[in-house]
Structure 1
Amino acid sequence: MKVLMVSDVALPRVNGVSTAIATYRNRLDSYGIETRLIAPRYGDEPQEASTTRLPGWRLPFDPEDRLVPPLRMRRAVCEAASNADLIHIQTPFSAHYAAMAAARRFNLPVVATYHTLFEEYLHLYAHALPERATRALARAVSRAQCNALSATIVPSSAMAQRLRDYRITTPLHVLPTGVPLMHFTVVDRAASRARFRARHGIPNDSPLALFVGRIAHEKNLEFLIEALGHAHGVVPELMLLIAGDGPAADRLREVARASGRTDRIRFLGYLDREAGLPECYAAADLFAFASRTETQGLVLVEAMAVGLPVVALAEMGTRDLLATGHGALVPPDDVAAFGAAMARLATDHALRERLGEEARALAREWSDLTLTSRLATLYREIESSHRRAFQRQVSWS
């Protein structure tokens, strides 16, 4: 089976969407699914036979991103779709409309993964519009786009409910992105911890909280810095390590300076997901995550796979992972309570050990192998259903 993936973002641009695309493409071939990707070009990426890179415009509010002109995207997608069995849309911009045009032209089933809850984000970028207007716009566009699809994939049950609230009537399939657990299985955690800390000048006995992800407004990182201040009332030596980059990085550094805790907050920038991140996770004592609008929270699973206990808000997509109560402390959405939970984990070795073991066991349920198998099955079901519907239509005409 041949699946055409179409996206306005892909690696080397690092975010949850690009990570999900790469994870699934790395595994789908094992299940008899051949994929082709059409995505923006960011620089001098190496040529890949199964990937078409298109030049695009830099976005002034987020220079990491590119937007491929709609006509250019449409031509490339229509050309590639002539040899596809199904189209999988990953983003709702140029990629979505180009894919829909190709699906109509070649009578192909088309699915989309609803990766991003734009209702919660759009007002952060469209400053000229009131928040009420941006929320209404995001809901209306999502409803129109999803109701034109054969099916919509969502990474969590909370996202599925939100889309039902939007009055989306096409089938919704809850399917999280899997994590390649072999990349996050640290054989000797003590050695990895020592190496990473020595490399970055962090004392081996300093308690260390870690955040990994894009530095953007929606990640609620100012909340983490404020929570660190509350934790310092109990454990003043606790450090916060922030691994990632993004449009709010400069602003967050200003917040860190204003807090007077720059000696306890370290910014690392992006780390290589396979080479650098596992050691970074192994070096930490706890993982802190305060996003309220996450559709899934892949980094939580990565941290848990290494055996790192988590302190996180159970909001939107993180609820499915945190609902078991295993491997994590889930404080209320209150900065003092969050700081207290960080301090508790930082000072209670036995609790860290117990939650770390629970976290490692829980992460195994989110394996990329298991979840890619489900995606391959879903592709075949949707393609088969579309073919049967078309045959019935032809027989009646």
Structure 2
Amino acid sequence: MAISYGFLSTHPPTLCGLASFSSALAGHLPVEREPHGIVRVTALGDDQRARPDVTHTWRSGPGGGWRAAADVLGGYDVAVVQHEYGIYPGRDGEDLLPLLRRLTVPSIVVLHTVLTRPSHAQRTLLEKIMSAAGAVVTLTGTARDRLVAGYAVDATKVHVIPHGVDAPAAAPAGDGARPHLLTWGLLGPGKGIEWAVRALARLRDLDPQPTYTVAGQTHPKVLEHEGETYRSGLRRLTHLLDMAQLVRFRGEYLDRAALSALVRSADVVVLPYDSREQVTSGVLVEAVAAGIPVVATAFPHAVELLTDGPGLVVPHQDAAAMAAAVRRILTEPGLAGELTGRGRTLTEAARWPVIARRYAELARGLVHARPTAYAA
């Protein structure tokens, strides 16, 4: 059965994890009948030129742009919709709901955030979105459990399909001169980088002292409202702790090859996030796929993936615990290799071609069971 796919999400050149995820999924799903349709969601004032693979652009703002977006997606057999707060127009992204209801084809809604304490409006809206969807995907078991326990949803519609990863990179390429710690991703308050800097200051006695790279541009929404205040504050902290010579901030855009080389140079990936809600982290799965030991705070995805797995989990906002975990990986004989080995099985199961096949199977099931209500 040849199937055509329409995708609704942010999309490159937008720089965010959602755009990267959707682009990677579209790139690995087979083009069986006609090229994929990409409906790119953008903010008002975003003047970045769409890539040639974008079929339609839905700009946030008044005017009911969801109607045109729905009509474009309706030209394909299945609509694959990425859901995240702050992406779609309306309060809590409420304009997504009439779009889903207007669709004349089945939809797969991928949830990137499942809140434990949503507002009444957020809970009600998400429940209606899930009711309108043909299938719902969460990226972790934790997110599914949270969804089924805390929301009114048909549990048979909810499927767990992990975040995909690229093929494992070659062995780490560190130069061996100094241990190298790395955090990457869009920068902004809540990333917890200040705790990692404080942890680094507790490792002064190691010889040689580790270096720490913070790679990533400031999140566009943070940049719009706060400028580079967070990054500037981090720089001030490094000077205050006399660590400026050991911390490097790379704010330039890194293409896939440059980022891959940077990741391979790391001895430890540090994810010091403040969030206790984060059920999905693309950076986390990419670090595991690269074979780099991870030290992460106890956000839900880290707890699920790293417990007895390829990394160490520490309490939030605890520089001492973070430093102790990094110290163990750098100094305890055999630990780094053991952690890397634990990630190999996880990585094979999360390769993008494997993940894309699971979405294709789900899509075929929806099309095969397509109710007459979807008939044009």
Q: Which residue, 165, 171, 191 being the options, matches 1:179?
A: 165
Segments of 5+ residues of structure 1 without an aligned counterpart are: 57-67, 121-133, 195-203, 392-397
Using the TM superposition, give the Cα deviation of residue 80 of structure 1 relative to its aligned residue in structure 2, in angstroms: 0.6
2-structure distance, mates of 1:319, 1:340: 18
2:65 equivalent to 1:73: yes
Equivalent residues of 2:185, 2:217 under 8 A apart:
yes
Residue segments in structure 2 that go unaligned for 5+ positions in a row: 223-229
Amino acid of the structure 2 residue aligned with 1:38: V
Match of 2:105 in 1: 108
Equivalent-residue separation in structure 2 for 1:365 and 1:99 (angstroms): 31
Residues 234 and 154 of structure 1: CA distance in aligned 2, closer, same or farther (over 3 Å): same
Q: CA deviation at 1:289?
A: 1.2
Match of 1:61 in 2: none
Q: Counterpart of 2:186? A: 214
For residue 330 of structure 1, what is the aligned residue in structure 2? 313
SS at match of 1:217: coil
Distance 1:11 1:257, change over 3 A: farther
Partner of 2:211: 239
Deviation at 1:262, TM superposition (A): 1.6
For normalisation by structure 1, the TM-score amounts to 0.77
| Residue 57 of structure 2 is aligned to residue 53 of structure 1 | yes
Q: Identity over the aligned pairs, expressed in percent?
A: 23
Check 1:362–1:109 CA distance in 2 against 1; reply closer, same or farther (3 A cut): closer
Report 1:89-108 matches (<5 A): 89-91=81-83, 93-94=88-89, 100-108=97-105
**SS of the residue aligned with 1:80?**
helix
1:365-380 counterparts in 2 under 5 A?
Answer: 365-380=349-364
Q: What TM-score results when the alignment is normalised by the length of structure 2?
A: 0.81
In 2, Cα distance between equivalents of 1:137 and 1:222? 33
Q: Tell whether the 8 Å contact from 1:311 to 1:329 is kept in structure 2 after alignment.
A: yes
C-alpha RMSD of the superposition: 3.0
1:119–1:218: structure 2 CA closer, same or farther, 3 Å change rule?
A: farther
For the residue of structure 2 that corresponds to 1:228, the secondary structure is helix
Change (3 A) 1:208 1:49: closer
Larger displacement relative to structure 2 (82-91 or 96-105): 96-105
Aligned runs of 1:218-367 on 2, under 5 Å? 218-232=190-204, 234=206, 237-246=209-218, 247=222, 248-291=230-273, 292-323=276-307, 325-333=308-316, 334-348=318-332, 350-367=334-351
Residue correspondences, number = 351
Q: Deviations over 1:68-107 (max 9, x none)?
A: 2243632431331341222222135239655543443353
CA–CA separation in structure 1 for the residues paired with 2:24 and 2:210: 33
Report Cα offsets for 1:313-372 as digits up to 9, x if no partner. Answer: 34312233213x232123344431221011122234632233233334432221111111
Is the contact between residue 12 and residue 50 of structure 2 (CA under 8 Å) also seen in structure 1?
Answer: no
Q: Is the 8 A contact 1:208 1:240 kept in 2?
A: yes
Structure 2 distance, partners of 1:379, 1:338, is: 42
